[in-house]
Amino acid sequence: MMGRRSLPLSGAAIIGLVIAGGSATTWAKTVAAIGQPAPEFAAADTSGRMRRLDEFKGKTVVLEWTSSSCPFTAAHYTNGVMQALQKWATDRGVIWLSVLSTDPSHTDYLPPAEAEAYNRKRGGTPTALLMDQNGIMGHAYGARTTPGMFIISATGVLVYEGAIDDHPSYDPAVVLKSHNLVRAALEDIAAGRPVATPSTKPYGCAVGYGAI
């Protein structure tokens, strides 16, 4: 069984993009691009229901790549920041899809029922939690970190990709003081403005894709 890739954390624990296992060039070419139609996807949620992008036509959709073992992801749940953002967004009609792309070969892989229980325990309230254990959805979007964030407009166009905030840290206290880039993008969309910062450098733990 493969364990989760350890992170070279030091100092303020600032970390840039962490590429998932295997050579990035050997994966299928990423098709997601800002300003272009978002890639279609079909992934089962934790109840076994197949969810597709076209199901949410006419709605703004947030995709949140998540993890059960990443300290960067945990920092956003420990202090309630992620849960509050999910509630704020879904209360305004936004579809929020959390995505687990962890391959079953990894020790932190959770089967659907366990993944759902874990997400409930940490207080997550997404529209659905998707199981992408084959990594097809993750590779289509170029998701490489957890947390990793993408926003799709009501017209189906990718309008944001990158980090959740502007302070790469796994310290919950730092997260509380950070500028949330996802909320800012959603506020731009709600006001009818172009997203001011459509692309940022993601940070966090490598998504636990399977070996090639």
Q: Which CATH architecture has domain 29-39+50-102+120-206?
A: 3-Layer(aba) Sandwich (3.40)
Say if CB 172 and CB 75 are below 8 A apart: yes
Phi, psi for residue 205 in degrees, rounded to 5: -90, 150
Distance, in Å, from the CA atom of 100 to the CA atom of 137, rounded to the nearest integer, reads: 10
Which helix (H) or strand (E) segment is 42 a member of? strand 42-45
pLDDT in tens, 122-144: 999 999 999 999 999 999 999 99
Least confident piece of the model among 18-22, 46-50, 158-162, 166-170: 18-22
pLDDT in tens, 180-200: 999 999 999 999 999 999 999
Least confident piece of the model among 17-21, 135-139, 144-148, 177-181: 17-21
Residue 33: other Cβ atoms inside 10 A: 14
Domain extents in the chain: 29-39+50-102+120-206
Secondary structure class of 24 (helix, strand, coil): helix
